[in-house]
Structure 1
């Protein structure tokens, strides 16, 4: 019984280490009806920091985040905000205090929840694990690159 448990432990650790070595890629997703196909890194940062709050059609952007502690949010904190969770909280509070936003961005618990919400909300944008994308939403290119392509900026490598 001990050898079986040890074997299972070794297998699980091997899979965990291998998965971590490849890293995760995020997909920035919007509703399929959204006419946007590509964003520059600068536009993406402005949207995620809510410095840009309207699509070109003058419709309000509905930005979604994932919960603190998710791998996806950790990547966004490093790559987009360059902050830790506490600094991000202070960032949002300062924007609210200055009247730049009326509330924190909506936070959802999982890739599936973000995807479902965006598939039903035409002006929304969010991020999920690229492996979770499907035809219910549109995956945007960032700087002309899509998840999986060399130089894609939201790859955790």
Structure 2
């Protein structure tokens, strides 16, 4: 599930904007710049997300970020150690966006729609 703070000024995001944000592009939704957070390299959550959203495996993702660094472009999303930290950061940092399992969603965050769909809807892409 994709989560943002309760005060985030939108209820959804396009899949394209989500992908761009996690690939280092500046993405603004309703006036808020997205600040993506992710899990450490090699974690099952990160591998699954990167494959579903970025369309890349771990090696490809690593090469992508090396290439951006060489070109002087923005770096990767901030790695955090676990879902509890994702929820805490997203709940406290204006514009932060992250992904967690349903069991980790807390009161300080809301689930963000992707292309108008919630995780319970058919065709949800995460």
Could you say whether these structures have the same fold, taking a TM-score greater than 0.5 normalized by the shorter chain as the test? yes
Q: Aligned partners of 1:137, 1:56: CA distance in 2, in Å? A: 17
Q: Select the structure that is richer in helix.
A: 1
The equivalent position to 2:41 in structure 1, one of 60, 64, 68, is: 68
Runs of 4+ in 1 over 6 A off after TM superposition: none
Larger Rg: 1
Where in structure 2 are there 5+ consecutive unaligned residues?
A: none
TM-score, structure 2 normalization: 0.88
Q: How does 1:8-157 map to 2 (within 5 A)?
A: 27-57=1-31, 59-101=32-74, 103-154=75-126
After superposition, the CA RMSD in angstroms is: 1.7
TM-score, structure 1 normalization: 0.72
Q: What is the aligned residue count?
A: 126
Where in structure 1 are there 5+ consecutive unaligned residues?
A: 1-26
Shift of 1:91: 0.7
SS of structure 2 residue aligned to 1:69: coil
Q: Aligned partners of 1:125, 1:116: CA distance in 2, in Å? A: 11
With over 3 angstroms needed to count, the CA separation of the structure-2 counterparts of 1:38 and 1:55, relative to structure 1, is: closer
